[in-house]
Homo-oligomer: A and B are copies of this chain.
């Protein structure tokens, strides 16, 4: 077994960062209690470890292929997917009225970490299905809901998001797929789409494609985009499956990683489509799903890096090589004894802890924004979630490249050999900084609209928690307190810098990546300060000691390592933010 689901870490983080007590009070959490949540996490952990994790390498070695127009995947994946549906995991956060279990986003996010770590390629299929469920639930007609949602909430049917075209990737405004009205009120879609994850497979009875296309008289740009349901098999009025629709996979990408997940080029030939909601609102509807999708992509990058870390740790404990400066008998030692190997492991471990704090806090805000009884609280939670989501998406996934590479490096030569398995984690995670909006787009969103456009009020209110925590830390660990204060002050300065650039969009863009990174690093530090204080309270007997002395001590070490070795990157970011002009001064002809 090379994946151990970090159940205690998740239980702890759900309580401290995911505001579990508050979440359980929300109307949507009706009847749910902490014990049930713990049981869900423990069952999910078992399932991820035993049913999914062993299929990860099989899927990598036996990638999806296209043969006679059908997407072929390794049979172990179909078995793993069916077990997932049968155990009820497919509908974990799906609405109860359509057969889902309606668990809070925070609990679902913790499970997502386990699915993604166990088999990222496979996890994308149910994740996309839930995205499509969200869209239909919010924007579909009653008939559409009744037709599709019950089967989608069990995972018997899956959903896809069909957006990109060769000339319409980051900028969907260019898309050209056409939807012509048909006499019966339906539409006929024609066009080609690319990069469609799980666009085809033979594991489910039916696939519900949500497709962006243009009516013949549509406005140019994003205003002219509408959303359509295009089922693989048409659905008869009695719910049985009818004829095969005109949507087919015509090619698969040969990718760096995610070999088990078919990335499809799809042809729409007079495919029957049903308009979702109103004409011209397609992109807006897609964006309601996109928030959750972006949060999930952050979790994906994090989850794969967690598994890579676990593997690197196991290797470092086992691999004997070289001598220990403090070991006088001269015998060789496991490489974890070498300080530089420990550095690589601890940077991974501490960063992962900070990331878990951040994504669970964000998921909790999504829950609060969705169903808190107080409108003011709801709105503030929504604003905070909107601010944090691009950070979770981009910071966690940029980190996933760094961390999985550290895991490879920990292995030395064995890391470069595919048999060790660690290279796959790097290859798989590498898509996460790219899809669902490249990290550059996340940074532009954060730095522009969400910071300088609003006078920086929101980031400053999030940073304020850092000051409170620094005060709490000052007795227990004055060094940490000072490091946190300095980092928060630097972050506030950077916010002010961004605000001062409000009328200079190009300079804002030049500063955006460094700004996002600085905010991620600083909010990660605030998360670990929260961890430290919570651990101290448990160690001091002020709160229940649920996880034991060693657990809390290890969490506090995570904070110390992060503050010493990871957080100092903020000073690089702060300098970069101030110097974007150097990038803009270079004339294009001199590249």
State the A residues within 8 Å of B (CB).
164, 167, 169-171, 174, 195, 253-257, 313, 317, 320-323, 325-326, 332, 336-346, 349, 401, 405, 408-409, 412-413, 415-419, 423, 426-427, 430-431, 433-435, 438-440, 443-444, 505-507, 509-510, 512-513, 550, 553-554, 557, 560-561, 563-565, 568-569, 571-572, 575-576, 579-586, 588-591
Contacts and interface: CB of A to CB of B under 8 A. Distances in A.
Given A575-B568, A582-B564, A412 B349 contact: no
Contacts of A418: 254-256
B509 A338 contact: yes
A361 to B, nearest CB: 24
A488 to B, nearest CB: 16
Nearest to A417: B253
Contacts of A439: 409
Nearest to A568: B575
Contacts of A572: 568-569, 571-572
A334 to B, nearest CB: 9
A560 B585 contact: yes
Contact of A583 (B339, B409, B571, B575): B339
- 7 closest A-B pairs by beta carbon, nearest first, are A568-B575, A564-B579, A564-B582, A339-B509, A340-B440, A339-B510, A554-B590
A339 B579 CA distance: 13
B440 A413 contact: no
A439 B413 CA distance: 12
Given A342-B583, A572-B572, A583-B561, A506 B326 contact: yes
Given A510-B340, A582-B564, A415 B401 contact: no
Given A339-B506, A583-B339, A590 B332 contact: no
Given A195-B413, A255-B416, A343-B580, 6 more contacts: A170-B412, A254-B418, A256-B427, A339-B507, A342-B586, A569-B569
A550 B506 contact: no
Contact of A433 (B409, B426, B554): B409
Contact of A565 (B256, B417, B582): B582
A405 B402 CA distance: 10
Contact of A336 (B169, B332, B591): B591
A452 B585 CA distance: 41
20 contacts: A167-B321, A169-B413, A171-B321, A255-B416, A255-B417, A256-B408, A256-B418, A256-B423, A317-B591, A339-B510, A339-B584, A344-B440, A349-B591, A409-B440, A423-B430, A553-B590, A554-B590, A557-B586, A557-B590, A565-B583
A409 B438 CA distance: 8
A431 B412 CA distance: 9
A561 B510 CA distance: 12
Contacts of A401: 405
Nearest to A576: B565
Contacts of A405: 401, 430
Nearest to A584: B339
B256 A321 contact: no
A407 B418 CA distance: 23
A584 to B, nearest CB: 6
A442 to B, nearest CB: 10
